[in-house]
Structure 1
């Protein structure tokens, strides 16, 4: 991995020279602590593109990719025997802890009885019932990832409504569904230049507005061409952006008035409660997407629809010519994933688990605010249930543009590397942290102590 340019100038309340010297020391410490990871990275570099199975695994700001031996509960053990307290949790994929026992048991039972058949199982019906009970939408389908689920639900809605356009919020992220890679630049929609290999003009069918801007939302919906609004109830992937008070109530009324539908992507916001943010806050949706954590870490996802949307989707399918719908794969709803989802929904994602997570996340958020104040940093903290984030801005962002301006990947990587070297891991993308049912008060204390030590090394003396 190429070295990070580091933090050379004073910014965000950090002393540039002290931070750069700290970065040099931390990179040397990382190399010394992880010789086996270095060997694995060297071997992987011979055959794996970028030396890792997925190039995102290079985004940690480390001298070479960290390699893991095992993961259990709130702990990750590296190939060098280093035990890390994990607040990343697979970037939400393991939000309820690594290898939760009920999911492991379900996988072991199912593995002896078949992995995939492209046929339904009794587990599938029970998963559908559990989802309907939990989220309040009656009709569900499965997918292999939230990306797939978002792509599929948008296809269903376009087919059901006869409308072509999708509306998203600036700075959004809904997996790698191509349609959402459109940003606002100086108020104009621009296809995101980082999107590799895209040959079609996404702006022809994707409308983008700022989050929390009701006049912009109304203006965009007024054409009557928008099939659906695809949104996270709280933006989470550009740094967290909370909805302003009353925003979703007013936005929901506008969406309905203009004949569009509302899809909530709860993949990250499931941190807000057992039924996600929308259910917890009384936001009425037409469809919901949930990926990553719903199978306890196994690749799977789900999407649900209101009865009205489901009826229109079924009618659209029956009216279409025979052939592939462009929705689904042969592994969708496979036996192994379905068994995992049943176990996760019924035995892992429980109210008791959430109560534990919320209490510790509150403690974590309060502790970070205290550290920010003690070190006199112009930063802020945002929390959505079990999800906590600190951002390099004194006021919490109101939209994607403000959140984007607060991002500083060099400073993030420096902090994350310092935490790794002190036995604590947070998400490599911005400064997001999750607590899981296995996280302890001591774990939170360890993270706060490590962050305090790191900040003490990089703020002005």
Structure 2
């Protein structure tokens, strides 16, 4: 049996060998994993941190730029970068300086400062949306926006694309199966039926999009400009423009989540592709690695939000509670870091380096794949690129998911880790940051080439 052109038996042999190599080479991580199991569920601070390809978690000592060091003293080239959280490198100098500056000036006060005003001005200039609010995570930003769009439209249903990524927002925890919306597999403690107020359709499917919107009950389409978590899926030419036209035609709003697609450029796909959303959300990298998220909106939405808030207050005969915001949202430390990030890190110059690096990497991936005669494809979106185990890049989430081959993917990831290279887990995605250099890319490519060569030798 072969998996995406690789013999399954060869994958099993390579994976077993690499697991043992990891255990032999990382005694400090092995010991820390044993200790962690006494106090941390699954031995990790977040349960999904145990889902990497390593037999025990890889424990980190420190990270800087596009490098990190583990407890055993091994140095790694990082192409994962916190799955976008550190998209501009670990601890960029302006962010480290901002943290130090703010450390003695107050961390959270529940009151605004000048930094917040400057951040709003910088975000408005960058994305073309005049008004902004802050939250702590992209999940929070999306959750708050969904409350606003329901209040504005008087509609309850949210439309998403099958395989979407919007953090852990309940409305995103659905899939499209056999023509209907169902719960995502594996949901823990799900109490209410999400399909009552969420509808999922395939990406790049205009007839399905219009059919859903035409029912007249969709408050908003919540979408990534390009899908990024099910495997990268780029929009067909004209798809997003038509989506914008259809949402307007049927009285629905359009919410663009740029949390991953900010890899495209300083203004994300929103500016690069002139998307004209009603709301935009962005988390992870906006504060250079410090937890923070933002959402922006048009003047029309700001006016509608004022009316919706006035109506809600009248209904409860007082101010009530909006259901939005946390005490730590827009804290002083985060605001100072967002300002530093927008002014000095997330710059045109940074992207001018990152994107050519990713182009070089994507081209190199294609060369390696061709050299081994594999029917795989490579997708690139700005500084982000990914190998997918299918001949043509996928057009929707179902096609991307069908290309997953966990055993092969995890064997390749572990092979790379054992040789000092990290890429994003759960799929074959990479990011290039301002610290990524040509030798780093060449090392990833040559190591992947070696891995595929060994798999072919094991299968012979």
- What band does the TM-score fall into relative to the shorter chain? over 0.9
Secondary structure class of the residue paired with 2:395: coil
The one of 321, 324, 331 equivalent to 1:324 is 321
Contact between 1:19 and 1:457, CA under 8 Å: does it hold in 2?
no
Q: Which residue number in structure 2 is paired with residue 432 of structure 1?
A: 429
Shift of the alpha carbon at 1:56?
A: 1.4
The one of 155, 166, 175 equivalent to 2:158 is 166
The one of 234, 238, 247 equivalent to 2:239 is 247
Does residue 410 (structure 1) correspond to residue 407 (structure 2)? The answer is yes
Q: Return the alpha-carbon distance in structure 2 between the equivalents of residues 266 and 246 of structure 1.
A: 18
List alignment gaps of at least 5 residues for structure 2.
314-318
Counterparts of residues 125-164 of structure 1 (less than 5 Å): 125-164=117-156
Aligned residues: 453
- Output one character per residue of 1:206-262: Cα deviation in whole Å (capped at 9) or x when no partner: 011100000000000001110100000000000001100111111111111001011
The one of 9, 13, 31 equivalent to 1:21 is 13
Q: Return the alpha-carbon distance in structure 2 between the equivalents of residues 79 and 276 of structure 1.
A: 36
Q: Which residue number in structure 2 is paired with residue 4 of structure 1?
A: none
- Output one character per residue of 1:23-56: Cα deviation in whole Å (capped at 9) or x when no partner: 1110111011110001111111101011000011
Q: Return the alpha-carbon distance in structure 2 between the equivalents of residues 154 and 228 of structure 1.
A: 8
Scaled by the length of structure 2, the TM-score of the pair is: 0.97
The one of 246, 252, 269 equivalent to 1:260 is 252
Contact between 1:16 and 1:458, CA under 8 Å: does it hold in 2?
no
Q: Which residue number in structure 2 is paired with residue 232 of structure 1?
A: 224
Q: Which residue number in structure 1 is paired with residue 28 of structure 2?
A: 36
Shift of the alpha carbon at 1:277?
A: 1.0
Shift of the alpha carbon at 1:319?
A: 2.2
List alignment gaps of at least 5 residues for structure 1.
1-8
Does residue 392 (structure 1) correspond to residue 395 (structure 2)? The answer is no
Q: Return the alpha-carbon distance in structure 2 between the equivalents of residues 277 and 445 of structure 1.
A: 28
Shift of the alpha carbon at 1:318?
A: 2.3
Does residue 298 (structure 1) correspond to residue 310 (structure 2)? The answer is no
Does residue 106 (structure 1) correspond to residue 103 (structure 2)? The answer is no
Q: Return the alpha-carbon distance in structure 2 between the equivalents of residues 217 and 333 of structure 1.
A: 35
Q: Return the alpha-carbon distance in structure 2 between the equivalents of residues 277 and 369 of structure 1.
A: 24
Q: Return the alpha-carbon distance in structure 2 between the equivalents of residues 317 and 194 of structure 1.
A: 36
Q: Which residue number in structure 2 is paired with residue 273 of structure 1?
A: 265
Secondary structure class of the residue paired with 1:199: coil
Structure 1 consecutive aligned stretches of length 4 or more whose deviation exceeds 2 Å: none
The one of 375, 379, 385 equivalent to 1:378 is 375
Secondary structure class of the residue paired with 1:22: helix
Q: Which residue number in structure 2 is paired with residue 443 of structure 1?
A: 440
Q: Return the alpha-carbon distance in structure 2 between the equivalents of residues 217 and 70 of structure 1.
A: 46
Secondary structure class of the residue paired with 1:297: coil
Secondary structure class of the residue paired with 1:238: coil
Q: Which residue number in structure 1 is paired with residue 202 of structure 2?
A: 210
Does residue 345 (structure 1) correspond to residue 346 (structure 2)? The answer is no
Contact between 1:147 and 1:176, CA under 8 Å: does it hold in 2?
yes
- Output one character per residue of 1:379-424: Cα deviation in whole Å (capped at 9) or x when no partner: 1000000000000111100111111101122221111000001110
The one of 59, 68, 87 equivalent to 1:67 is 59
Counterparts of residues 181-192 of structure 1 (less than 5 Å): 181-192=173-184
Scaled by the length of structure 1, the TM-score of the pair is: 0.97
Secondary structure class of the residue paired with 1:62: coil
